[in-house]
Amino acid sequence: MGYDAAPILRGVSLEIGPGEFVAVMGDNGSGKTTFLQSLLGLLKPAQGRVEVLGQDTRRVPVSWLARQVGFVFQNPDHQLFADSVWQEATFAPRNFSALDEASQARVEALLARCGLGDRRQDHPYRLSYGEKRRLNLISVLAYAPRLILLDELLIGQDIGNATFLLELLREQVEQGNTVIMVNHHPEVTRRYASRLIFFNDGRTIVDAPTEEGFQQLAALGREVYLPSTRRRL
């Protein structure tokens, strides 16, 4: 799995079930984003198989998977293309012909909770970075996907915003949805994730429940990735 002809992920074998909150960690360029993109079928495996919601990603179009899988990209601007906050938030349900009263109510509630309720008519590019990030997440949660993929959602977020977004995600997990989040904060991983997957040079070197995962990371000498309370100074 990779871009152009160069493989990035090799020998990755894992299964993620419903209701899991998975934190994906690893060095820059270790394959985390590639892993997420493969789960939506944006990248197809050259060898092996990726099955999402029982479907082989090579056999179904991305548009089919996108109905069940939400993806928040690293750069918020890459995902904003509607003319107003409301249109942006409701883009996917409209696109899937599923903008009913329930989904509109869900979006309205999410906008209100995220402090964007009175900015419905504003252009998305007029929002602050933190607001754009919240809008990115709202526009994914708007169509209630069963699997939510997040690529470094917390970049540039203050502690209040980050906590708010994480609590939103925790609610999704409590509803039985799956969250897979690329993240560089060990404290966040420990507090919110039920499972830790650590990538190194395109391979998973740790895949375990969070606490056990941190123990394995410590044994591998990856102490900088441990929460501060576990770190030996």
Partner 1 sequence: MKPRITYQPGHSILHCLHPLVKGAWMLFGTVLVFIVPNPWAVLAVLGLVLLAFSVTGVRLGQVRGTRLFTSTAFLLAALQILFVRQGPVLVQIGPLAPTIGGVEAGVYVAGRFLSVVFLSYLFVLTTDPNSLAYALMQAGLPYRYGFTLITALRLVPVFEQEGQTVYNAQLARGVQYDARSPRRFLTLARQFFLPLLVSALGKVDALAVSMEGRCFGKYPTRTFLRTVHFTRLDATAAVLLLLVTVGIASALAVL
Nearest Cα to Cα of residue 149 among 56, 90, 73, 54: 73
Query: Which is closer to partner 1, CB of 34 or CB of 189?
Result: 34
What are the C-alpha distances in Å from 116 to residues 17, 34, 124, 156, 162? Answer: 32, 31, 11, 18, 16
Mark the segment that binds partner 1 (CB under 8 A) among 7-15, 74-82, 99-107, 185-193: 74-82
Among 20, 27, 42, 146, binds partner 1 (CB under 8 A): 42
- Give the shortest CB-177-to-partner 1 separation in angstroms: 16
37 binds partner 1 (CB under 8 A): yes
Rounded to a whole number of angstroms, the minimum distance from the CB of residue 90 to partner 1 is 11
Contact with partner 1 (CB under 8 A) among 19, 27, 67, 99: 67
**Type of residue at 87:** Q
Instruction: Pick between residue 17 and residue 61 the one whose CB is nearest to partner 1.
Output: 61
Q: Is 28 in the site for partner 1 (CB under 8 A)?
A: no
Q: Are 3 and 44 in contact (CB under 8 A)?
A: no
Given the rule CB under 8 A, which of 45-53, 88-96, 152-160, 194-202 is the region that contacts partner 1?
Answer: 88-96
98: CB partners within 8 A, 6+ apart = 143
Burial of 169 (0-12, 13-18, 19+ CB in 10 A): buried
Chain-centre distance for alpha carbon 219:
27
User: Residue 71 interacts with partner 1 (CB under 8 A)?
Assistant: yes
Window of 51-59, 79-87, 101-109, 198-206 that interacts with partner 1 by CB under 8 A: 79-87
For residue 229, what are the contacts with CB-CB under 8 A and spacing of at least 6?
Answer: none
DSSP state of 152: S
Residues that bind partner 1 (CB under 8 A): 3-5, 37, 40, 42, 61-63, 66-67, 69-71, 73, 75, 77-82, 91-92, 95-96, 125, 139
